[in-house]
Chain A
Amino acid sequence: MKLVVNGTDVDVSDGINVSQLLVERKVRLPDMVSVELNETVLLRPEFETTLLREGDRVELLYFMGGGRGANPL
């Protein structure tokens, strides 16, 4: 199915949840990401329970400190 992730059209497996999206998008440190789905920020426990649907708009927003934190990308 097609999603819009960080403003870009991407193809992902059908019926995946948000945690699985982070795996497919190769996010190495999912704890360092906040996820906004259709302009609503998800709580971390909801990553597993939230199924994505065709056309959803997802923003992966990375924790950024001052250049001393870990690289989440």
Chain B
Amino acid sequence: MELTLSDDQIDRYSRHIILEDVGVNGQQTLLASKVLIIGAGGLGAPASLYLAAAGVGTLGLVDADQVDISNLQRQVIHHTSDIGRNKVTSAANKLRAINPDVTVNELHLRVEASNVLEIIRDYDFVIDGTDNFPTKFLINDACVLGNKPFSHAGILRFDGQLMTVRPGVSACYRCVFNAPPPPKAVPSCSQAGVLGAVAGVVGCLQATEALKFLLGLDGLLTDTLLVWNAKRMDFRKVKVKRNPRCAVCGEQATITTLHDEAPAVCDITGKAR
């Protein structure tokens, strides 16, 4: 690789460089890598902060929303003074401040069937930090069809889950969850909520998986759903397999193009809208 590290970079990344599994070569690999983070929220905030600090050279941030005061309990990349600002702008400012080595692409938009393949195309790895099931399935299907490795994660109350997908090699999100739950099954947003620190832990786990993938390390959470309950502080690895009946990566896949489904979302009062 023709990139060389400057003296400042050798200092900045010294705790990486002294790791046998990273070294100068690994750090150069990270600096040349591109990760897309979809959702600059509870998961995307910690994930993007650690990836920027780690010196992943290009980070793409996708989010169509503005910072709301109710975000600040867990979306630690946004500050009180950012309320009302576009999330991607707020987040990009922090990432650039942490590490000027990082190029941040701000994508103030929503991923949809019509744009998602184009958006993910230039990245090495995708982090799904979204909060609704139709978008999670859309990202899964796009990453499978576009052959893009990605990290799935979800959080709820005191629980989190995580899985890394290598399309065509390991189980995908749809292999395990088949299809989005019917909107009527997601009835009351007031029952939900999440401990802010749970989002932080799971987002950091996603960043860890991205770094392991970029560095070519073993032990990815492929064919494995990590489920974590914070109250019992109980981490379990559930073995999952590629599902021959999977609609997008199975033997007779029926999903060959992408379609949008209406997401069930909540407003601040906890009512579905």
Contact = CB atoms under 8 A, between A and B. Distances in A.
Contacts of B217: none
Interface string A49-73: 0000000000101111111111111
B241 A65 contact: no
Given A29-B185, A65-B133, A39 B159 contact: no
Interface in B141-193: 154-157, 159-161, 175-178, 181-182, 184-189, 191-193
A46 to B, nearest CB: 10
Contacts of A64: 154-156, 159-161
B241 A68 contact: no
Nearest to A44: B178
Contacts of B157: 67, 71, 73
B224 to A, nearest CB: 12
B76 interface: no
Given A64-B160, A66-B42, A43 B178 contact: yes
A69 B119 CA distance: 26
Interface string B228-244: 00000000101111010
A18 to B, nearest CB: 14
Interface string A26-56: 0001011010100111011000000000000
Contact of A41 (B41, B178, B189, B266): B178
Contacts of A41: 175-176, 178, 240, 243
Contacts of A32: 181, 185-186
Given A62-B156, A64-B154, A65-B131, A70 B175 contact: no
Given A31-B181, A36-B238, A67 B42 contact: yes
A7 B243 contact: no
B176 A69 contact: no
Interface residues of A, number: 26
A59 B240 CA distance: 10
A15 B225 CA distance: 28
B155 A36 contact: no
Contact of B39 (A31, A34, A66): A66
Contacts of A67: 42, 74, 131, 155-157, 192-194, 199
B227 interface: yes
A6 interface: yes
22 contacts: A31-B181, A31-B185, A39-B239, A61-B176, A61-B225, A61-B238, A62-B159, A64-B161, A65-B130, A65-B131, A65-B136, A65-B154, A66-B39, A67-B157, A67-B192, A67-B194, A67-B199, A68-B189, A68-B192, A68-B266, A69-B264, A71-B192
Interface of A: 6-7, 29, 31-32, 34, 36, 39-41, 43-44, 59, 61-73
Given A41-B240, A41-B243, A69-B132, 18 more contacts: A31-B184, A32-B185, A36-B238, A36-B240, A39-B241, A40-B241, A61-B227, A62-B161, A63-B133, A65-B133, A66-B39, A66-B131, A67-B155, A67-B156, A67-B192, A68-B189, A70-B185, A70-B188
